[in-house]
Amino acid sequence: MHYLFKIIDFFYQKKKYSVLKKRIPENIDILIDVGAHHGDTISEFLKIFQIKKIYAFEPSKRNFKELKKKTEKIEKQNSVKIKIYPYGLGEKNDVMQLTEIADGVSNTFNNLNMSSKYLKKKRFITTFFGMGKFIKDEVPTKIIPLKEIIKEEKIERIDLIKIDTEGFEYNTLVGMDREIKKVRFVLFEHHYDNMIIKNYKFKDIHTLLIDNGFQKVYKIKMPFRKSFDYIYENQAVV
């Protein structure tokens, strides 16, 4: 079953990156990866895009350790420059509890709905495949608004920002403030199931992006759960 999940996810990711290749220009000066995990997305992006510089954010200490190893290797094999940060991104400077899940990809700053059917399935799979405790840890973690990094690095244009933060996507976008107008493409996940207790709905993200000049150009359903990847484009950024 574990290998079946991996096979299905492989074909989903293949489809997603095929869509990105068609929608987004090949040459990228600046990519921001929020929720970079172990750097797998960075590796995939470099297969389809020519990227000059990447800013990657990963708040989990366990994941950040792996991200650091992988990005150092990537920089040696490619001409890309990668700057990584061990922070979460949100609306303001803060310290929040990061709940770390056994699979390492579902870590969240939000509360979990322990009665969620999807969470129960995920917990069963975690136990079945010997990953240990479902909730590994709860760690106080630094949060910063992305606008601070954009200003600090004097970034004038962002070709693509990818956000995968398990229910903290809206908070990340709000934390960009007016700097969001420098972005050409936004790629983000949104989960419609109730495993994570979010303080916003999809329409809040949609309205925020529309109000800042973006249009929705694509959505693709993710396997296993009621979730989608969305691509929004701001054609005013050239």
Under 8 Å between Cβ of 103 and 225: no
Task: Report pLDDT digits (tens) over 196-208.
Answer: 889 899 999 999 9
For 146-158, what is the mean pLDDT? 98
Q: d(Cα 47, Cα 49) in Å, to the nearest integer?
A: 6
Instruction: Give residue 45's pLDDT.
Output: 95
Tokens 């954010």 found at = 57
Q: How confident is the model at residue 124 (pLDDT cuts 50, 70, 90)?
A: confident
Burial zone of 114 (CB within 10 Å; 0-12 exposed, 13-18 middle, 19+ buried): exposed
3 compared with 183, residue with greater pLDDT: 183
Instruction: Give residue 128's pLDDT.
Output: 66
Taking alpha carbons only, the member of 179, 101, 109, 175 closest to residue 142 is 109
Sheet with 135-144: strands ordered across: 88-89, 135-144, 94-101
The CATH number of domain 2-88+146-233, selected from 3.40.50.150, 3.40.470.10, 3.40.718.10, 3.40.640.10: 3.40.50.150
Q: Where are the domains of the chain?
A: 2-88+146-233
Quote the percentage of the chain above a pLDDT of 70. Answer: 92
Under 8 Å between Cβ of 20 and 31: no
Under 8 Å between Cβ of 82 and 54: yes
In single-letter form, the type of residue at position 215 comes to: Q
Q: What is the pTM of this model?
A: 0.91
Under 8 Å between Cβ of 138 and 99: yes
Radius of gyration of the chain (CA): 17
Q: d(Cα 11, Cα 129) in Å, to the nearest integer?
A: 22
Residues listed for the chain? 238
Task: Report pLDDT digits (tens) over 21-41.
Answer: 888 999 999 999 999 999 999
Task: Report pLDDT digits (tens) over 53-65.
Answer: 999 999 999 999 9
